Amino acid sequence: MARSHFVVALGTALFTALLVSQLVINLGFPQVDFWHWRLHQQEHHDIPQTHVFSEKQDNGTTEAPSQYLIGAGKADITGPVVELNLMGYANSSQVGTGLRQRLHSRAFIIGNPSTPSERFVYMVLDTAMGDTAIRNGVLEGLQALGSEYSVYNKNNVAVTGTHQHAGPAAWLNYLLPQITSLGFDKQSYQGIVDGAVLSIKRAHETLTLGTVSAGSGRIADANINRSLYAYLANPAEERSRYTDNVDKTLTMLKLTRASDGKHIGQLNWFPVHGTSLYGNQTIVAADNKGVAAYLFEKEMESNSNAAEGFVAGFSQANVGDTSPNVLDAWCEDGSNQKCNLSDSTCGGSNQPCHGRGPYFGLNDGGAKSCYEIGKRQADGALDIFNADSSFTSITGNVRAFHTFVDYSNFTFTLPNGTLARTCPAALGNGFAAGTTDGPGAPDFVQNDPSGRSSPFWNIVGSAIAPPGPEQIKCQAPKPILLNVGEAKVPYDWTPDIVDIQAFRVGQFIIIVSPGEATTMSGRRWRDAVSNAASSSIVSNPIVVLGGPANSYTHYIATEEEYGIQRYEGASTLYGPHTLNAYINNTLTYLPYLADDLSGTIAPGPTPPDNRNRSISLITGVVYDGAPFGKSFGDVITDTSASYPIGSLIQATFVGANPRNNLRLEGTFAAIEKVASDGSFTQVRYDKDWELVYEWKRTNGLTGTSEVTISWDTGTKWESNATQIESGNYRVRYYGDAKSVGGTITPFVGSSRVFSLV
Query: Which amino acids are annotated as binding site, given as ranges?
Result: 163, 273, 516, 555
d(CA 735, CA 633): 7
- Identify whether the C-beta of residue 354 lies closer than 8 Å to the C-beta of residue 365: no
Cβ contacts of 315 within 8 Å, gap of 6 or more: 122, 124, 160, 162, 267, 268, 269, 270, 546
Of 136, 133, 138, 139, nearest to 173 by C-alpha is 133
- Identify whether the C-beta of residue 159 lies closer than 8 Å to the C-beta of residue 550: yes
List phi, psi (to 5°) of 534. -60, -35
Parallel, antiparallel, or unpaired for β 642-643 and 754-756?
A: parallel
DSSP state of 274: B
Of 229, 205, 326, 232, nearest to 273 by C-alpha is 326
| C-alpha triplet 316, 276, 733: angle, nearest 5° | 100
- Identify whether the C-beta of residue 182 lies closer than 8 Å to the C-beta of residue 617: yes
Cβ contacts of 689 within 8 Å, gap of 6 or more: 100, 101, 285, 291, 294, 371, 717, 719
DSSP state of 659: G
What's the CA dihedral at 414, 418, 419, 423 to 10 degrees? Answer: -70
Look at the chain and count its residues: 757
CA dist 476 → 423, 467, 574, 625 (Å): 10, 12, 11, 57
Instruction: State yes or no: is 227 an active-site residue.
Output: no
Please list the residues that pair with 215 across neighbouring strands. 252
| C-alpha triplet 245, 250, 255: angle, nearest 5° | 160
**Which amino acid, residue 584?**
N
Sheet containing strand 542-546, strands side by side: 398-406, 497-505, 508-512, 542-546
Peptide bond between residue 477 and the one before it cis (omega within 30 degrees of 0): yes
DSSP state of 20: H
Of 167, 164, 106, 105, nearest to 288 by C-alpha is 164
Binding-site members for Zn(2+) are: 163, 273, 516, 555
> Around 446, how many Cα atoms within 13 Å sit in the side-chain half-sphere?
38
Instruction: Say which of 276, 315, 323, 614 is annotated catalytic.
Output: 323
What's the CA dihedral at 432, 435, 440, 441 to 10 degrees? Answer: 60
d(CA 317, CA 215): 16
CA dist 526 → 129, 273, 329, 517 (Å): 20, 20, 29, 11
Please list the residues that pair with 732 across neighbouring strands. 670, 750
d(CA 472, CA 426): 10
d(CA 522, CA 520): 5
d(CA 344, CA 331): 9
Parallel, antiparallel, or unpaired for β 727-738 and 704-712?
A: unpaired
Cβ contacts of 563 within 8 Å, gap of 6 or more: 233, 477, 569, 576
Residue 349 three-state SS: strand
CA distance from start to end of the chain: 37
d(CA 598, CA 743): 56
Residues catalogued as catalytic: 323
